[in-house]
């Protein structure tokens, strides 16, 4: 299973919603114009707009790494407006796992039946 699914949880800092939305637009534009292996990238807000969930799907670990590289400074800007945690579903490559070190990310491996 090379495809990866991600649910990122972004807890938006008080008073930063407008800035968060502006930067989120930049992220979405980057995905549309630069990413080659991002299969899904959808933002969902809680009712009170203090949490945003991003549903992401990547062809493979290389596509996820490409996405992060393409965001570059924009990711840093976004993280000034929120706190990130994420769940990754699939089997990330060692390179991707290395890139996730130090982040609040939980990996869920596929169930292997007998």
Instruction: Return the domain boundaries, the chain.
Output: 4-108
Q: What is the pLDDT of residue 113?
A: 75
With cut-offs at 50, 70 and 90, classify the pLDDT of residue 112.
confident
Query: Residue 45: which pLDDT band, with cuts at 50, 70 and 90?
Result: very high
Q: Are 70 and 35 in contact (CB under 8 A)?
A: yes
Overall CATH class of domain 4-108:
alpha beta
Q: With beta carbons less than 8 A apart as the criterion, state whether 32 and 71 touch.
A: no
Q: Do residues 85 and 9 make contact, with C-beta atoms less than 8 angstroms apart?
A: yes
9 phi and psi angles, rounded to 5 deg: -110, 120
Q: What angle do CA 5, 63, 13 make, to 5 degrees?
A: 60
Contact (Cβ atoms closer than 8 angstroms) between residue 20 and residue 78: yes
pLDDT of residue 1: 58
CB 82 within 8 A of CB 43: no
């Amino acid at each position: 299973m090379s495809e990866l699914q991600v649910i990122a949880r972004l807890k938006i800092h008080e008073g930063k919603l407008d800035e968060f939305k502006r930067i989120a637009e930049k992220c979405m534009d980057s995905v549309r114009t630069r990413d080659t292996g991002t299969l899904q990238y959808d933002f969902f807000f809680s009712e009170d707009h203090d949490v945003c969930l991003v549903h992401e799907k990547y062809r493979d670990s290389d596509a996820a790494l490409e996405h992060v590289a393409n965001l570059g400074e924009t990711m840093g800007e976004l993280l000034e407006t929120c706190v990130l945690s994420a769940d990754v579903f699939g089997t990330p490559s060692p390179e991707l796992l290395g890139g996730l070190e130090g982040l609040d990310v939980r990996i869920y491996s596929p169930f292997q039946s007998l």
